[in-house]
Structure 1
Amino acid sequence: MSWDVSLYKFTKRYRRIQDIPGDEQPHPLGTRSEVQAAVSDAFPGTNWNDPAWGIYDVEFGSIEFNLGKDDSVRSLALHARASAAIVGGILQLCERLGCQAIDLSDSSLLDQSEHPTAGLEKWRKYRDQIIQESQG
C-alpha cells in the first residue's frame, strides 16, 4: 500500500486534471540517466541498483521511483510511504524536469493544489486506521 503519484511533461502547464485534453501526448521527461540524476538531486542517496526502479529510504519514509525499461522515460511513477516532508522534494523534482505530478488518490495536480499534501495525509490516515484495526 502506498501513496501514488505520476509525473508527466505535458505540452503546456495545466491548472486542473479536467483541463487535459484526451488527445494530449506528453513529452518524454528525459533519458534514463537524466531522470535518475534529477531524482537523485531531489532525493539524495536514492539507490539505483535496478536502473528501472530507484529506492529512496530515509527516517521519514520511502519512495520507489519506477522509470520503466525504455531509455526515453515518458512518465515516472512514485510509490511513497512517507510523511508530508516528501512532497517538497516531489515538487522540486517536477520543477527540475519541467513536468507536473498527478496525485492518483484524488486526481489533482500537486503543483496547482492549495494543499499538495492532502492526498498523502488522507492515505496516511487510512493506512494508520488499517494498521490499528489489524492490531486491535
Structure 2
Amino acid sequence: MSWDVSLYKFTRRYSNIQDIPGDEQPRPLGTLSEVQTTVSDVFPGTNWNDPVWGIYDGDFGSIEFNVGKDDSVQSLALHVRASDAIVGGILQLCERLGCQAIDLSNSSFLDQAERPAAGLAKWREYRDQVIAKSRG
C-alpha cells in the first residue's frame, strides 16, 4: 500500500490531465543511467541493487522508484510512504528531469496543485485506518 505518483515528460507543460490529447506521446526521461543518477542526486542513498527498482529510505519516509527495463526510460513510477516533506523532493526531481508528476490518487499534476501533498495526506489517513482496524 502506497501513495502512487507517475512521472512523464510531455511535449509541452499541461495544466490538468484533461488537457492531454489522446495522441500525446511522452518523451523519454533519459537513459536508465541518467535517470538513476538524477534520482540518487535528489534522494541520496537510493539503493539500485535491482537496476529497475530503486529504493530510497530517508528521514521523511521511503520511495520505491520503478524505472522499467528499457534503457530509454519512458516514465517513472513512485510508490511513496512518507510525510508531506517528501513532496518537495519529488517536485525537485521533476524539475531536474524536465517532467511532470501525476498524483494517481486524484489524477492531478503535483506542480499545479494548490496542496501538492493532499493525496499523500489522504493515503496516510487511509493507511492509519487500516492499521487501527487490524489492531482493534
- Scaled by the length of structure 2, the TM-score of the pair is 0.98
- Scaled by the length of structure 1, the TM-score of the pair is 0.98
- 1:133 aligns to what? 133
* Aligned positions, number: 136
- 2:8 aligns to what? 8
Amino acid at match of 1:134: S
Aligned-partner Cα distance in 2 for 1:117–1:61:
14
* Partner SS, residue 49 of structure 1: strand
- 2:88 aligns to what? 88
Measure how far apart 1:60 and its partner are: 2.7
Deviations 1:81-118 (A, max 9, x none): 11111100000000000000000000000011110000
Measure how far apart 1:21 and its partner are: 0.6
- 1:98 aligns to what? 98
Aligned-partner Cα distance in 2 for 1:7–1:16:
14
Deviations 1:23-81 (A, max 9, x none): 10000000001100110111011001111000001233110000000100000000001
- Structure 2, unmatched stretches of 5+, are none
Hey, which bits of structure 1, 4+ residues long, moved more than 3 A? none
Task: Calculate percent identity across the aligned residue pairs.
Answer: 81
Q: Report the aligned-residue RMSD.
A: 0.6
Amino acid at match of 1:110: L
- Structure 1, unmatched stretches of 5+, are none
* Partner SS, residue 35 of structure 1: helix
Aligned-partner Cα distance in 1 for 2:111–2:34:
21
